Amino acid sequence: MQAVTTIGLDIAKSVFQVHGVDCNGQVVIRRQLKRRYVLAFFEKLAPCLIGIEACASSHHWSRQLLALGHDVRLMPPRYVKPYVKRQSRHLNSKAVWCSIARGTCLFDSRPR
């Protein structure tokens, strides 16, 4: 498995969706994680860029991921919405990754 460089993380109530891509743009990780396994999953990964759609709980998760050494970027929902194709959990995490990959949006990168 190649090293993951960028991850789009879609936060939900109990199941999170992860979409990870390597430096060549190839999908390396595409999976669902239950809330209790999220930190254990990211502890095993090398530090990388993680994009999260800004919401009430995203600040909590970004603080947790920053403590593990990852670079976390929070994005307003209006920058993620154009990349959502339909109501699918996987596509929402891919939409978060797409908005990070473009690099044109402003980030609210400080967790509160």
Give the model confidence (pLDDT) of 61-99 as tens digits.
999 999 999 999 888 877 676 666 656 554 566 666 566
Sequence letter at residue 92: N
Question: Residues 23-67: pLDDT tens digits?
Answer: 888 889 989 999 999 999 999 999 999 988 888 888 999 999 999
Question: Model-level pTM?
Answer: 0.78
Instruction: Name every residue whose Cβ is closer than 8 Å to that of residue 106 and which is 6 or more positions away in sequence.
Output: 79
Closest CA to 65 of 109, 21, 96: 109
